[in-house]
A and B are shown apart, each in its own frame.
Chain A
Amino acid sequence: MNTFLALLVRDIRLSVRVGGGALMGALFFLIVVVMMPFALGPDLALLARIGPAILWLGALLASLLALDRLFATDYDDGSLDLLMMGRMPLELAVAAKAIAHWLTTALPLVIISPLLGLMLNVELRATGTLALTLLAGTPALTFIGLIGAALSVTLRRGGLLLAVLVLPLTIPVLIFGVAAANAAIIGPVPFGPPFTILCALSLGSLVLGPFAAAAALRHGLE
Chain B
Amino acid sequence: MQLKGQNLVCSRGGREVFSDLNFSLSGGEALLVTGRNGAGKSSLLRLIAGLVRMAAGQLTLEGGDGEASIGEQAHYLGHQDAVKPSLSVRENLQFWARYLGSGEGVEAALEAVDLAPLGGLPAAYLSAGQRRRLSIARLAAVKRPIWLLDEPTSALDAPSQARLTALMRGHLAAGGLIVAAAHGPIGLERARELNLGPV
B79 touches A6 (CB 8 A): no
Taking CB as reference atom, which chain B residue is nearest A80? B82
Contacts A77-B84, A78-B80 known; list 15 others, CB within 8 Å: A6-B98, A6-B99, A7-B95, A7-B99, A13-B87, A77-B81, A78-B78, A78-B82, A81-B46, A82-B96, A83-B99, A84-B71, A85-B76, A86-B100, A221-B51
Among B72, B80, B91, B103, contact of A77 (Cβ-Cβ < 8 Å): B80
Taking CB as reference atom, which chain A residue is nearest B49? A85
Interface contact tally, CB-CB below 8 A = 72
Within the complex, what minimum Cβ distance (angstroms) separates A113 from chain B? 29
Contacts of B84 in A (CB 8 A): 10, 14, 77, 79
Does A156 make an interface contact (CB < 8 A)? no
Interface residues of A in 43-65 (CB under 8 A from B): none
- Number of A positions contacting B (CB below 8 A): 23
Identify whether the interface residues of B are mostly helix, strand, loop, or mixed. Answer: loop
Taking CB as reference atom, which chain A residue is nearest B52? A222
Does B12 make an interface contact (CB < 8 A)? yes
Contacts of B87 in A (CB 8 A): 10, 13-14, 17
B100 touches A87 (CB 8 A): yes
Q: Show 26 residue pairs from A and B whose CB-CB distance is below 8 angstroms, ordered by the A residue.
A: A3-B99, A6-B103, A7-B95, A10-B95, A13-B87, A14-B84, A17-B86, A76-B80, A78-B79, A81-B46, A81-B49, A81-B78, A81-B82, A82-B76, A82-B99, A84-B50, A84-B51, A84-B71, A85-B50, A85-B51, A85-B76, A86-B99, A87-B68, A221-B51, A222-B51, A222-B53
List chain A positions with a Cβ less than 8 A from chain B: 2-3, 6-7, 10, 13-14, 17-18, 76-79, 81-88, 221-222
